[in-house]
Structure formats: C-alpha cells, structure tokens
Amino acid sequence: MHPARPSRVRHAVMLALLAAAGGPAAAQSEGGLPQVAAAPYTVALADDVAEASHRFGVPEPWIWAVMQVESNGDARAVSSAGAMGLMQIMPGTWATLRGRYRLGTDPFDRRDNILAGTAYLREMHDRFGAPGFLAAYNAGPGRYAEYLSRGRPLPAETRRYLARLAPVVGRSLGRHPAAAPLRDRNSWTHAALFPARSDNQRADDGPTDKARHPAQPAPHGDRPSRPRESLFVALSGEPPR
C-alpha cells in the first residue's frame, strides 16, 4: 500500500478546484476582495489585523478575506453551530486558544477574536499547508483529515468557502514566504487543541460559515498582559506585509 498517494491525488484535485474557481472571482479586483477594502469596519480593525499578522506570520489579506467570508465584519455574529465573532471560532477552540495565547474572557472582543482566529489559521497552515488549511479552518481539522485519509467528500459549504477564498490566498502565496509551513509539520500533535468527535457531530474544532444569529453578550473580565512576540518560529527576516 502507498498511503501517501491518495492524499497527493486529493491535494491535486483541490488545487484544480481552486484554480477553476479563481477565474470569475479573481476578476473582481487585482488586490483581493474589493468588498473588504471598501468595508467601513476595516478602519476600526486595521491595527488588530496588523498585530495578528505580525504575531502569527499570516498575511493580512488572508485575515481580511477569512473575516469577510466568515462574518462580514460582524463582531457579534454567532452561527447556527455556535461559532463566535469576527473569525467565527467554536467555543471549545476559543477556550483553548485564549488560554494558550493569554487572551481575555470575551470571545466577541474584536482584538482577541482576530488574534485567536489568526492563530488558528496559522496552526491549520502548519498542519495542512495550502490550500488545505482553508478547508480545515472551515470544516475542522478532523473533517479535513478524513478527506485526505479516506476520501470522505468535503461538505458543499466548505467547497464554496474554498472557491471564495482561493483567489486571495492564491495571489498572496508567492508574495508572502513567511506563511510557508514550519519545518516541524507535526508540531501540532504536541498540544491537545482539537477534541475528538464522531462522524455525526460537528466538533469544536473549527469556525463555521453557516447562518448567523444575534449573539448573546459574553461576560467581560480583566485580561492578563499579552505578549507581542510571536509564539511561532520566525520564518523570514521581515515581518509579513
């Protein structure tokens, strides 16, 4: 048996899907998603996105694009599955990320939600590379791993998600070497970030792009000081743009 071969084939299929999807969407703007550039919420969130990009080595266009598709800039968004905030983070994932990165108690806090979502994007990228990290972010790493190992089809929602984000990520890959995978591609196995789940239950292992409903306010609390340095190994001499 050659267990790696099906994964390579499925990875190639996904690349083909993204390439095909990138045509019409890419024509919208040479700079990415024009809606993001024009959205009023970008001014208020620009510093938070820049901080998250610098801390976790994720290109800013990726963060903006994921935020737009996930919540359209609605900091109080809650999906039908319970994903929260700008980056649509599941409660269990939020609980782990906030402890790991010393975030506050409010998952709807714009800065903390962006930091947590960007950290999650980086962990998915380090585990799966591109473009698989997008599918893992949306469907959950367990679900995407099943696609790679057993050929279980990705949900239609995730395929639509990939089609929307492919043009932005594709144009950024060549310009942002800092987003390349780390040398230790198995470092994610050293931390229990992703709980196990059954096939018929969506895990708290990823954000969601499903319908949103008004959020209930979360309790606010004093936050511990946040380190500005990245918790990942530096990948280039320059911070990501």
For residue 86, tell me if it sits in a domain.
yes
Q: According to the model, what pLDDT value does residue 138 have?
A: 96
Active-site residue numbers? 70
Residue bearing the bigger pLDDT, 101 or 173: 101
pLDDT tens string 35-45? 444 467 788 89
Phi, psi of 68 (to 5 degrees): -65, -45
Side chain identity, residue 54: H
Residue bearing the bigger pLDDT, 1 or 183: 1
Q: According to the model, what pLDDT value does residue 213 have?
A: 40
For residue 193, tell me if it sits in a domain.
no
For residue 121, tell me if it sits in a domain.
yes
DSSP assignment of 153-189 equals PPPHHHHHHHHHHHHHHHHHHTT-GGGSPPS-TTGGG
For residue 26, tell me if it sits in a domain.
no
Please state, for a pLDDT cut of 70, what percent of the chain lies above it.
Answer: 55
Contacts of residue 94, defined as CB under 8 A and 6 or more positions apart, other chains included, come to 84, 107, 116
Write down how long the chain is: 241
For residue 188, tell me if it sits in a domain.
no
For residue 62, tell me if it sits in a domain.
yes
pLDDT tens string 182-217? 334 444 344 334 333 434 334 455 554 443 343 444
CA dihedral 74, 141, 181, 84 (to 10 degrees): 20
For residue 125, tell me if it sits in a domain.
yes
For residue 116, tell me if it sits in a domain.
yes
Structural domains counted in the chain:
1
pLDDT tens string 115-172? 999 999 999 999 999 889 999 999 999 999 999 999 999 999 999 999 999 888 887 6
pLDDT (mean) for 98-109: 97
| Domain, as residue range, for 155 | 58-174
pLDDT category at 75 given cuts 50, 70, 90 is very high
8 Å CB contact between 55 and 229: yes
Q: What is the CATH number of the domain that holds 72?
A: 1.10.530.10
